[in-house]
Amino acid sequence: MITKNTPSDTAISPKKGILAVSFGTSHPDTRAVTIDAIEESIRNAHPDLAVYSAWTSQMIIRKLSRTTGEHILTVTEALENMRRDGITDVCIQPTHILNGIENDRMTADALAFRDQFSSISFGAPLLSSTEDLKEVISILAGEYSFLKEDEALILMGHGSDHFSNTAYAALDYMCKDLGFPHIHVGTVEAYPAPRDVLRHLEGSPIRSLHLLPLMIVAGDHAKNDMAGDDPDSWKEQFRSAGYQVTCHLKGLGEFPQIRKIFLRHLEAIL
């Protein structure tokens, strides 16, 4: 999506800048290899453009300010900096998975500046088209091509009451439709839930499960909801159902091919 204004001062030379927007994480280990890696790939791909960054999670921003003293910019703060730096055309690339709640908030915050820039353009989140879904499945199927006939890959998405949550079910359906019946998709907070994944596994030869977060970072949800020792964690739920479980604490941002999808979405608005 692109919004444009007619500059009041036509003598001003256009100056384009990129704003990378992430939800954020309080885990520095996964941040370095996911969010930071995505931003670095953007800088490397566009060395001639100024690249800014912002996070949308106020809770994580406050936590880091309290625990480490680091000040992470909000979308509003980053755009104020871009305006002061003389940026006239803003290209915003989110690292969000879906066009969901966080993406809507980001868009609303950015559009509050519509009169202060010549244009504000928005790149698409990771799963925004049929092509995106197919590409993500191809990437993950390739990464886990070592699985045996009695093993399955379970992708753990966050889940939301936003209508965009339907993308998870679409991704699960497409896995089977493209010939990867051993890949299943579930969510922490919505549909499909772990019980739905277990129901689809009934009667199959699957005995061993590999759990992977369908999230940009492998943070709290991956370490606790997926791989934690609490009885409600996915690991323990699947173990209680009789499966051997291996957890892979690797965020999607760690995969170079996933980072390329974000770069492609950014190229579409530059």
Whole-number Å distance between alpha carbons of 258 and 142: 12
Nearest Cα to 159, choosing from 190, 133, 136? 190
Rounded distance between C-alpha atoms, residue 222 and residue 225, angstroms: 6
Q: Is 158 a catalytic residue?
A: yes
Quick one: three-class SS letters along 167-207? HHHHHHHHHHHCCCCCEEEEECCCCCCHHHHHHHHCCCCCC
CA 147 to chain centroid, in Å, comes to 25
119-122 vs 2-4, strand pairing mode = antiparallel
Q: Which of 27, 46, 96, 158 is catalytic?
A: 158
Report the amino acid identity of residue 248: H
Residues with catalytic annotation? 158
